[in-house]
Amino acid sequence: MGSIVDASNKEVNGTASEKRPAVIFVLGGPGSGKGTQCAYIVEHFGYTHLSAGDLLRAEIKSGSENGTMIQNMIKEGKIVPSEVTIKLLQKAIQENGNDKFLIDGFPRNEENRAAFEKVTGIEPKFVLFFECPEEEMERRLLGRNQGREDDNIETIRKRFKVFLESSLPVIQYYEAKGKVRKIHAAKPIEDVFQEVKAVFSPEAEKVEA
Ligand SMILES: Nc1ncnc2c1ncn2[C@@H]1O[C@H](COP(=O)(O)OP(=O)(O)OP(=O)(O)O)[C@@H](O)[C@H]1O
Ligand SMILES: Nc1ccn([C@@H]2O[C@H](COP(=O)(O)O)[C@@H](O)[C@H]2O)c(=O)n1
Ligand SMILES: [Mg+2]
């Protein structure tokens, strides 16, 4: 697996057109537990986890020409132009041998969603949506302690606003298509994973097919 095809299934990168990878979008507010649960899904169900935020942070560290722009956007809780994020996701998919991916924190707005679909022709199998109250997400982010420049109260409030205004409409778009699998995320990590596991069980996946 590895090459990316456009919507007409023509080759875009890599070798001749191959089957598109299976993609699950993992969405939810900042601090809802997306990364934490993705790590468990990887362990139990063999997916590869790609976090859009992690890819953008790695791009800053790499000294790329886009680094300063990305850093400023992240500090302000803003959404980086789709072109930049999609290139990073495409590269990560291409470089990986797996054929099934969890794409965490993407699409973050309508522009992300439409551009990804247009460029890759990939429709998500389903969307995992971690629903969590803001007060709980705020508590988690302020206690995360991973040295993230956006885990301060000022930026957290901006991220919540962007989530409500730009990301929720994307979830509603997929809801209308019957693709959203909602998870109640304001529970202990293990309890959340029990709910996640049910979505990934072979029986549940059969219904998706
Ligand atoms: N169910 C939970 N209960 C309590 N704490 C949790 C739970 N899930 C995750 N956490 C903790 O909350 C913090 C945020 O979790 P995580 O990084 O998984 O969230 P996220 O949705 O990926 O956030 P972001 O959008 O900012 O990347 C971490 O410190 C994590 O250990
Ligand atoms: N599709 C995306 C995803 C993320 N960003 C930027 O990165 C920040 C951190 O994202 P996390 O998922 O790790 O919380 C986010 O606030 C955005 O600034 C983006 O632009 N586009
Ligand atoms: Mg995360």
Residue 42, helix vs strand vs coil:
helix
pLDDT of 201 = 86
pLDDT of 19 = 83
Q: Count CB atoms within 10 A of the CB of residue 133.
A: 12
Mutate-to-test residue for ligand 2 from 80, 85, 171, highest number of ligand atoms within 8 A of CB = 80
Q: Does 181 show up as a binding residue in the annotation?
A: no
Ligand whose nearest atom lies closest to the CA of 167: 2
Q: Does 133 show up as a binding residue in the annotation?
A: no
CA distances from 47 to 6, 42, 92 (A): 22, 5, 13
**Region 198-206: what's the mean pLDDT?**
76
**Region 86-114: what's the mean pLDDT?**
97
pLDDT of 114 = 98
pTM exceeding 0.90:
yes
| Architecture of the domain whose range is 22-198 | 3-Layer(aba) Sandwich (3.40)
Q: Does 106 show up as a binding residue in the annotation?
A: yes
β-pair type (180-184, 100-104): unpaired
Phi and psi at 20, nearest 5°, equal -70, 150
Residue 29 pLDDT level (bands cut at 50, 70, 90): very high
**Region 133-138: what's the mean pLDDT?**
98
